[in-house]
Amino acid sequence: MTAPLPELMTSAECAALIRVKPHSILTMARQGTFPPPLRLSARRFRWVRAEVEAWLAEQQAAAARRRAVALGRGDPAQFRVTREERQKPAP
């Protein structure tokens, strides 16, 4: 029995989820600030929905920590991330 295939998203679907323009998705992926796409052909890219949703949850958690620090309710050290941690592949 084969494993089920992951649900894939287009750049337009990713863009709608995080409220940016579709071109920004590929730009962010190239910069390493968004999950890398699967390249289906020379001009066709898709993203694994679970990876995008995990990235979004991570971004929302980081924003909540920054808000807490700005309001004086959090420790600034808790949201410092090293370069190695940022470049670590998602599980």
Residues of the chain with pLDDT under 50: none
- Residue 2 in any domain: the answer is no
List, for residues 27-45, the tens digit of each pLDDT value: 999 999 999 999 999 989 9
pLDDT of residue 69: 76
pLDDT of residue 79: 58
Number of structural domains in the chain? 1
For the entire predicted model, the pTM comes to: 0.72
pLDDT of residue 27: 94
- Count Cα neighbours of 74 within 13 Å in the Cβ-side half-sphere: 16
- Residue 3 in any domain: the answer is no
- Residue 32 in any domain: the answer is yes
- Residue 55 in any domain: the answer is yes
pLDDT of residue 21: 95
pLDDT of residue 87: 64
CB atoms within 10 A of CB 35: 21
pLDDT of residue 54: 94
The set of residues, in sequence order, having a beta carbon less than 8 Å from that of 28 and lying 6+ positions away, is: 20, 34
Question: Domain residues for 80?
Answer: 8-87
